[in-house]
């Protein structure tokens, strides 16, 4: 079983970084296959916190190959900064490889991201403002700059001589008066290209070779299934495909290699930015979960909206990506509440709805229907040690019931259970290691 895909099952920030870091210990290669530095994946090692945006979380495990695949959009300035910060903290980035096919986020992409949000006025997506959407738009429109262009000064200049005046006109049309300076963009970006060139290669064949040699490859998804450009709550989504199918295409390997998919399910639901969220809590419980769970964006610092676990969402994601197991995270955050609710389906004018309607006006009219479960007390440190030593049976009884409820509803086993922020605060419930 050499290939395992990690997919966010909700609206992002499910704790993918922590799970990837845990599984990376058993892996040889970790590949990011979509998204860009809109992602923020946090890993806490002891008291040290790492927030990764473009570099695969596997980089924190010495000796593992870390690959940024062709499906990712790369802001080269941000990437260099991230690499520098990692090196300053004694994390080796020697094993990083970047696909020569990955697209580059250019300065005008960030300006266009802001301009487009302004134009949307009352219907803002609430993007991260990192230029993700405009960069993917250019990729699809065949107006992109790829890493193979960035590392070749001549090609880069040729490309920009055509693109910069075009983007200038579009920015002006949006009412943005900033002037793009071709020379300074060429200078800045060819410098980035020079500094990143040593990592850039055709990564697809390299990953295929690793798979052929039975090396274990972990595919690190970013964002979440409900932010998928095709299947999410469009237009309140990101601009890439976040489902497991894209792990192959975004890494340049055959889909036939993918044999396991873990869905990362936060024990409750969060969402950053605008858009529908049926099980959102607008009351004190929502605030309590946000505070206790530290629900503030890793990338933008924005407060995350919080709500009960929504199984319509996680089952929809599971169907899209073919989850073979669930990694449930942040269940510790729910400790101390008397009652917990889990949304099992929606009610649309008396009709039971069990999937996500495409039309947001219909989704808006869906009322969540809940099952109510009993809560448990917070886990004290001594009990945590016992749980980590003894396993599932040492968990509070009502927590076990909560997990069993989710397992039954999703038809899947919880294979990993996150009980805290730190690297070791995780219960491995797999029958065998990967
Ligand atoms: P990602 O984008 O899916 O990687 O998730 P983020 O890193 O943006 O957000 C998840 C947050 O929850 C981070 O601050 C993690 O350190 C933290 N976290 C992850 N797993 C757990 C867990 O099981 N319990 C607690 N309390 N925190 C967790
Ligand atoms: P990770 O990988 C949560 C959200 C933004 C916005 C929408 C579009 O850390 O889970 P974009 O900048 O991508 O065009 O913004 O998507 N978003 C995320 N929300 N976690 C993320 O990544 C996100 N990446 C994008 O808030 O609503
Ligand atoms: Mg995040």
Q: For the chain, what is the HEC assignment?
A: CCEEEEEECCCCCCCHHHHHHHHHCCCCEEEECCECCCCCEEEEECCEEEEECCCCHHHHCCCCEEEECCCEEECHHHHHHHHHHHHHCCCCCCCEEEECCCEECCHHHHHHHHHHHHHCHHHCCCCCCCCHHHHHHHHHCCCCCEHHHHCCHHHHHHHHHHHHHHHHHHHHHCCCCCCCCHHHHHHHHHHHHHHHHHHEECHHHHHHHHHHCCCCEEEECCCCHHHCCCCCCCCCCCCCCCCCHHHHHCCCCCHHHCCEEEEEEECCEEECCCCCCCCECCCHHHHHHHHHCCCECCCCCCECEEECEEHHHHHHHHHHHCCCEEEEECHHHHCCCCEEEEEEEEEECCEEECCCCCCHHHHHHCEEEEEEEECCCCCCHHHHHHHHHHCHHHCCHHHHHHHHHHHHHHCCCEEEEECCCECCCEEECCCCCC
Q: Which ligand is located closest to the Cα atom of residue 42?
A: 1
> Residue 72 and residue 31: Cα distance in Å, rounded?
10
Is 345 known to be catalytic?
Answer: no
Tell me what pLDDT residue 101 has: 98
- Per-residue pLDDT tens digits for 111-150: 999 999 999 988 899 999 999 999 999 999 999 999 999 9
Angle formed at CA 42 by CA 41 and CA 48, multiple of 5 degrees: 150
User: What would the pLDDT profile of 102-111 be if each residue is shown by its tens digit?
Assistant: 999 999 999 9
Task: Identify the CA nearest to 226 among candidates 327, 52, 360.
Answer: 360
Residue with the larger pLDDT of the pair 2 and 114: 114
Ligand 1 pocket, residue 56 CB under 6 Å: no
Q: Is 294 in the pocket of ligand 1 (CB under 6 A)?
A: yes
pLDDT in tens, 342-379: 999 999 999 999 999 999 999 999 999 999 999 999 99
Nearest-atom index, ligand 2, CA of 227: 16
pLDDT at 121: 84
Ligand 1 centroid vs 294 CA: distance in angstroms? 9
Q: Is 28 annotated in the active site?
A: no
pLDDT given for residue 1 in this prediction: 61
What are 203-222's pLDDT values in tens digits?
999 999 999 999 999 999 99
């Amino acid at each position: 079983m050499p290939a395992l895909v990690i997919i966010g099952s909700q609206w992002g920030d499910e704790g993918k970084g922590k799970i990837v870091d845990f599984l990376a210990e058993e892996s040889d290669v970790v590949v990011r296959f979509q998204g860009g530095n809109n992602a923020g994946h946090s890993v806490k090692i002891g008291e040290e916190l790492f927030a990764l945006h473009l570099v695969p979380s596997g980089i924190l495990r010495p000796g593992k190959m870390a690959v940024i695949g062709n499906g990712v959009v790369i802001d080269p300035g941000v990437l260099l900064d991230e690499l520098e910060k990692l090196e300053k903290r004694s994390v080796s980035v020697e094993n990083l490889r970047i696909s020569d096919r990955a697209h580059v986020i250019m300065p005008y992409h960030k300006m266009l991201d802001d301009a487009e949000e302004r134009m949307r006025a009352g219907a803002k997506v609430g993007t991260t403002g990192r230029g993700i959407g405009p960069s993917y738009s250019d990729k699809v429109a065949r107006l992109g700059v790829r890493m193979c262009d960035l590392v070749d000064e001549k090609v880069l200049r040729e490309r920009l001589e055509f693109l910069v005046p075009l983007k200038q006109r579009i920015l002006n049309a949006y009412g943005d008066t900033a002037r793009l300076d071709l020379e300074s963009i060429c200078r800045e970006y060819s410098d980035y290209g020079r500094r990143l060139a040593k990592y850039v290669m055709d990564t697809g064949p390299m990953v295929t070779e690793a798979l052929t040699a039975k090396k274990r490859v972990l595919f690190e998804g970013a964002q979440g299934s409900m932010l998928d450009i095709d299947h999410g709550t469009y237009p309140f989504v990101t601009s890439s495909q976040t489902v497991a199918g894209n792990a192959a295409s975004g890494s340049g390997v055959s889909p036939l290699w993918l044999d396991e998919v873990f869905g990362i399910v936060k024990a409750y639901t969060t969402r950053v930015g605008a858009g529908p969220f049926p099980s959102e809590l607008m009351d004190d419980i929502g605030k309590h979960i946000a505070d206790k769970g530290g629900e503030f964006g890793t990338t933008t610092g924005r407060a995350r909206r919080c709500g009960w676990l929504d199984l319509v969402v996680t089952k929809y994601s599971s169907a899209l990506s073919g989850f073979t197991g669930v990694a449930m995270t942040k269940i510790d955050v729910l400790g101390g509440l008397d009652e917990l609710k889990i949304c099992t389906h929606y009610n649309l004018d008396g009709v039971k709805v069990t999937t996500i309607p495409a039309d947001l006006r219909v989704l808006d009219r869906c009322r969540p229907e809940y099952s109510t479960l009993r809560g448990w007390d917070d886990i004290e440190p001594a009990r945590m040690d016992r749980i980590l030593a003894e396993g599932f049976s040492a968990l509070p009884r009502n927590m076990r019931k909560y997990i069993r409820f989710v397992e039954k509803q999703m038809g899947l086993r919880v294979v990993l259970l996150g009980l805290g922020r730190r690297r070791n605060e995780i219960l491995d419930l797999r029958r065998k290691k990967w």
